[in-house]
Structure 1
Amino acid sequence: MTTLSLDNKLTTVIIIFTVETSQQDDLIAAIKEFLETVKTQPGFVSANLHKSTDGVKVANYAQWASTAEFEAFRNNVEIQKKAEKLFTFDRPDSHVYEIVTCESKVGTPEIKEGEYLTHFAEFSMKPENQPKMIELAKEHVKPAMEQPGLISATFHRSLDGTRVINYGQWSNQEAIEQLTKQPGFGKAAPYGEGIADNEYHLYEVVHVVKT
């Protein structure tokens, strides 16, 4: 089972595909097929496929025992050949991450199929802006957690400095809509304005693979 914790020593890899709505199910099927190979690789721990409710995104939240083992998998030419169906889709946004802050109303958050509505808030930035973005995230996460319906919020920073992602778990969509009406959380004057570009989509967990 995938858990989200500051104490987690695993390597997190978040891969986000952008697709046409007509392609979403085909992409998920192709990823599921490739995961049958991935799950046999040294260091693989878990993969969690998410399907955006608007049909334009597919996200994989994966964990590996170490960055070295993930890099060995990614650089294995024979293994990557088995992912050829994925190459027919647009190149995904893929980075290695570490968790920098986590708030939860349910103890240590877990990723389970069909349990919560999830959002990935994707912040893109120049590396020199990442520390400030993390500072702002930590400042705003506690007020956000006062929102009824928000179960957990876990912020990740990419090791290359160009991304911060919030993985949020919600009980319902109405609660998310209420948060976006609060100062700093809507599209008008968001708290990361001038530091990072941000987009977010809502997802359902549709497939989980683990060792």
Structure 2
Amino acid sequence: MQDKIPSTGEKSERHMLTLAPGNVVTGLSVFQVDQPHQSTLVQTAEATARHARTDAGMLGCAIFRAIGKGDVAVLTQWLNQSSYDQAEPTLLKPPKQDVYQIVLVDHITGQKASRLALSDGLFHFINVFRLTPSKRDDFVHYFERLTRLVRVQPGYVSANLLMSLDGYHAVNIGQFQTRQDFQAIFRKPRVTMGFAQGILRRIVPGPPRLRQYDLVAVSLSHAPQIDHTR
């Protein structure tokens, strides 16, 4: 019997990285470079990702290019912390203080996972928060309340909360249909006041580092991706 030839839709599903709570370890590296060198760094990251596709324990990575700034962000996933520890030091492997686990996913459809896929054509932003470890639970509750305000805004797709293993940072990877939809939320007083509550109540010591990104590449390992959406 001949192997079934995958449909176009099936092929595109292989070029997505899944974000879902669990034991998967996620590294996030943000490289600040001059604008002229941004494309070079993206190309280097893509080449490194292709070379690392057969590394045991690595699920894949996504590469983001900041809009209007020189930042390049590389998000890499491993099966667990042991897989991260054993990985070779490359551009894809950040230091331990930049290693996270996904603790919360809110998707407009109600599914239990989000995905990073070029074919979706979504706008992405990444917030990095500094945390006081003793305020971790307070921050999660603050984030849940803030998400309830943001998710009803036009164009919202998902919010994905990652907490660093050392407890000192949190990351929100957010998705909207368009950049214009995202920028419109800052014209809503209830939303801007919701953001300010984190500082006013001293849950976070200061405003987050916010960057707006284009997703430019997704590279998966040869290991099968786990379907969390069902």
Per the TM alignment, residue 93 of structure 1 is displaced from its structure 2 partner at its CA by: 9.3
Counterpart in 2 of 1:99? 102
Unaligned runs of 5+ in 1: none
2:189 pairs with 1:168: no
Matches within 5 A, 1:77-92: 80=89, 83=90
Answer yes or no: is 1:110 the counterpart of 2:115: yes
After TM superposition, the structure 1 = structure 2 runs for residues 39-50 of structure 1, keeping only pairs within 5 Å, are: 39-50=53-64
Q: For the residues of structure 2 that align with 1:196 and 1:179, how far apart are their CA atoms? A: 23
Confirm whether residue 5 of structure 1 aligns to residue 20 of structure 2: yes
Q: What's the RMSD between the two structures over aligned residues? A: 2.4
Give the % identical residues: 20
Distance change >3 Å, CA 188–CA 68, structure 1 → 2: closer
Does residue 15 in structure 1 map to residue 18 in structure 2?
Answer: no
**Would the aligned equivalents of 1:14 and 1:94 in 2 still touch at CA under 8 Å?**
no
Identify, as 1 or 2, the structure richer in helix: 2
Match of 1:177 in 2: 183
Which of the pair is proportionally richer in strand?
1
Contact map agreement 2:62 2:74 (CA 8 A) in 1: yes
Q: Flag the structure with larger Rg.
A: 2
Runs of 4+ in 1 over 3 A off after TM superposition: 91-94, 183-189
Q: Which position in structure 1 is the counterpart of 2:78?
A: 64
Amino acid of the structure 1 residue aligned with 2:205: A
2:114 counterpart of 1:138: no
Provide the C-alpha distance between the structure 1 equivalents of 2:36 and 2:180, rounded to a whole number of angstroms.
26
Q: Determine the C-alpha separation between the residues in 2 that align with 1:93 and 1:188.
A: 31
Checking the alignment, whether the CA contact within 8 Å between 1:130 and 1:164 is kept in structure 2 is: no
| 1:196 has 2:205 as partner | yes
Residues in 1 aligned to 2:103 and 2:195: alpha-carbon distance in whole angstroms: 24
**AA at the equivalent of 2:219:** V
**Any stretches of 5+ residues in structure 2 without a counterpart?**
1-15, 222-230
Aligned positions, number: 197
What one-letter code is carried by the residue in structure 2 that aligns with 1:22? P
